[in-house]
Amino acid sequence: MRYVFASHFGAAMRSLVVEKQALGFSYRSGQYRLAEFDRFCCQEFPMETRLTQTLVQRWAELRPGEHPNNRGERLTYVRQLADYLRAMGEDAFVLPPGMGGRRIRYLPHIFTRSELDAFFGAADGQSVTPFSPTRHLVVPVLFRLLYTCGLRPAEAAHLDIGDVDWERGLLHIHQSKGRKDRLVPMAADMWARCQAFDEAMRILLPHRSALFPNRYGHRLHPATFDDWFHVLWDAADLGPVAGNAPRLYDLRHTFCVHRLNQWVREGRDVQALLPYLSGYLGHTSLAMTDYYLHLVPDFYPDIQRLSQPGAALIPEVRV
pLDDT digits (tens, 9 = 90+) for 175-222: 777 678 899 999 999 999 999 999 999 999 999 999 999 988 899 988
CB 175 within 8 A of CB 26: yes
Full-prediction pTM beyond 0.75? no
For 115-138, give one letter per residue: b (16+ CB within 10 A) or e: bbebbbebbeebeeeeebebbbbb
| pLDDT confidence bin for 245, thresholds 50/70/90 | confident
Number of other residues whose CB lies within 10 A of the CB of residue 54: 10
How far is Cα 180 from Cα 161, in angstroms, rounded to an integer?
A: 19
| pLDDT confidence bin for 307, thresholds 50/70/90 | very low
Q: Average pLDDT over the chain, rounded to whole?
A: 87
CB 18 within 8 A of CB 27: no
Is residue 107's pLDDT more than 90? no
Instruction: Please give the average per-residue pLDDT across 213-238, as a whole number.
Output: 91
Return the pLDDT at 200. Answer: 95
Rounded to the nearest 5°, which phi and psi values hold at 238?
-85, -15
User: Higher-confidence residue: 6 or 176?
Assistant: 6
Strands across the sheet containing 170-173: 164-165, 170-173, 182-185
Is residue 145's pLDDT more than 50? yes
